[in-house]
Amino acid sequence: MTSQKNDKTERKEWYKLDLSAIVYPTLQRKDFSSVYRLSVVLKEPIQPDILQQAVDIALKRFPTYKAAIHKGLFWRYLEPNTRPGPFVQPDIKNPCMPMPFKANNHYLIRIYYHRCRIALEAHHSLGDGTGGMCVLQTITAVYLRLLGHEISCGGFVLDVNEKPDPEELEDAYLRYANAKVRPPRPGEKTYRVRGTKEPFYTLNIIDGILSVKEVAAVASKYNATITEYLNACLLYALMQKQENEWHRKLRPVKIAMPVNLRRFFPSKTLRNFITMVYPSIDPRLGEYTFEEIITQVHYYMRYYINNKFLRGDITTNAATQQNPVIRIVPLFIKDFVVRFFYTKVQDKNSSAGLTNMGAIKVPENMKPFIERFDIYMGQPFSSRTNCAIASFEDILTINFASSIKEADIERLFFCKLIKDGIHVKIESNRETEF
């Protein structure tokens, strides 16, 4: 989308926030930002000066990431950011810190380095993990080229000499919000993990490093995919946690799981293009064995994750934005309504978050330089834990991020994997024992 200044015929690009991105700035607090983190671990130590050159070269290819957020009367929007930066910096112990919109020269991304790791943190108003992965891998490819290596383009690595495809910049939701029905949103309150809240600057990280082959072999014994198996393990851990603590009444246990809509609806967009599904178990119906949990997750995935149901979900989500009355409501009123709905309804609709980016692909001549990838969903909006999964070659990483001191869910989750015969290496930024 563009606006024009007629006096000097100067053309200035600007981008309205996509359907998902509208929510994230509304939830912004001094102690919370919707920030996610992607990182790649190389096999050689990072050279910061070369990395800065790579960032300066690559980021020009991503106009919706080299941008600042502005507030209008009715909507927020992104505008090109020509200020110096963003500047690479040494990594910090507690990632995904709050990201004020006017800090860091108004950039909504950060690039860190530590030993062999390059990390990208991005505000969710810019895009989802797929868009962020394109930025991270393109920066990494340019970095390796500056070191003298020949790295091809393809997949997540975009050609920095090409202009962005207009489809990369689109709000893809609006193209597919055309179902004839609007399925209702689930609204029942779920089990919430209780714990001791950490200071806002503290994010507890627990990483599990596993073999893809081992996890796939165990999942196949349950006639499940890796995603279904790990979802079931997290539901199982949450159910155990609820059973082991005092409760007046049992509540359903539910996971909020983003689905990458590009798998079902063709789009090159680098902005947000995800929707949420909610695998769940209701212990009020009786006791569940793990086998019963994984069977229910398996059929839930088959029933809901298809283009028919997902198109209906997109249409439901887009209905509010497309309402002509809502469009002319001032922004401060929209913010109040969205924040109230999210706090009172949406945030209470899940017990934990889990995202699986699947097997991450890179160009063949880039593989020899990479050890693994890590993904963090960032600081939870409320006291709970989020889990993010990714794999590269035979290394599968499971990254938990939590804002509470207790690690009961993570412990129960990994104990289940170990009990099933999977070898797990644990890494953490916690000072206390896991």
Helices 408-419 and 226-244, axial angle in degrees (round to 10): 130
Q: For the chain, which ranges sit under pLDDT 50?
A: 1-11
Q: What is the domain count for the chain?
A: 1
Domain-located, residue 181? no
237: containing domain: 13-173+186-434
Find the length of the chain: 434
Domain-located, residue 159? yes
Domain-located, residue 2? no
Domain-located, residue 79? yes
The pairing of beta strand 117-123 with beta strand 274-277: unpaired
User: Which of 356, 233, 253 has the alpha carbon at shortest distance from 305?
Assistant: 356
For 333-349, write each residue's pLDDT tens digit.
888 888 888 777 777 88
Domain-located, residue 138? yes
Domain-located, residue 1? no
Q: Any idea what the CATH number is for the domain that residue 95 is in? A: 3.30.559.30
Tell me what pLDDT residue 246 has. Answer: 79
Query: Using CA atoms, how far apart are residues 340 and 337, in angstroms rounded to an integer?
Result: 5
Domain-located, residue 303? yes
Q: Are 389 and 375 in contact (CB under 8 A)?
A: yes
Q: Are 390 and 208 in contact (CB under 8 A)?
A: no
Tell me what pLDDT residue 335 has. Answer: 81
Angle at 179 between CA 178 and CA 185, to 5 degrees: 115
Query: Using CA atoms, how far apart are residues 280 and 302, in angstroms rounded to an integer?
Result: 14
Tell me what pLDDT residue 12 has. Answer: 63
Tell me what pLDDT residue 434 has. Answer: 55
Q: Which long-range contacts (CB under 8 A, 24 or more apart) does 117-120 make?
A: 117/39, 117/40, 117/41, 117/42, 117/46, 117/91, 118/39, 118/40, 118/42, 118/46, 118/51, 118/143, 119/37, 119/38, 119/39, 119/91, 119/95, 120/37, 120/38, 120/39
Tell me what pLDDT residue 342 has. Answer: 78
Query: Using CA atoms, how far apart are residues 56 and 385, in angstroms rounded to an integer?
Result: 34
Domain-located, residue 57? yes
